[in-house]
């Protein structure tokens, strides 16, 4: 809402605005499973998901499946205003809006 309102106030025609909703998350393999916050050192891309099959990129459906298993820890980063989750040395940041 905020960014769309800003563009409209700048004079952008509403019929030319497109709102994108991210349906993916970025995943990383952490250097240490004891440092799991946003900005924690990573040693490389996260494991590929079963559907996207692309290291470091998980579809939102894949994230939901992982979190549904109950063995991932979900945290919310106030500065980024976004959630992230981790299990062992695997970490994924995503948007839950």
The strand pair at 82-87 and 90-93 is best described as antiparallel
pTM of the entire predicted model:
0.81
> Hey, what domains does the chain have and what are their CATH numbers?
21-93 (3.10.50.10)
pLDDT per position as a tens digit, 13-65? 999 999 888 899 999 999 999 999 999 999 999 999 999 999 999 999 999 99
């Amino acid at each position: 809402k905020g960014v769309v309102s800003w563009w409209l106030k700048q004079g952008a025609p509403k019929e030319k605005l497109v709102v994108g909703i991210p349906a993916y998350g970025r995943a990383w393999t952490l250097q240490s499973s004891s440092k799991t916050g946003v900005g924690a050192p990573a040693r490389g891309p996260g494991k590929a998901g079963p559907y996207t099959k692309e290291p470091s990129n998980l579809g939102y459906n894949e994230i939901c499946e992982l979190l549904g298993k109950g063995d991932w820890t979900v945290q919310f980063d106030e500065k980024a205003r976004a959630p992230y989750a981790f299990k062992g040395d695997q970490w994924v940041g995503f948007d839950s809006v």
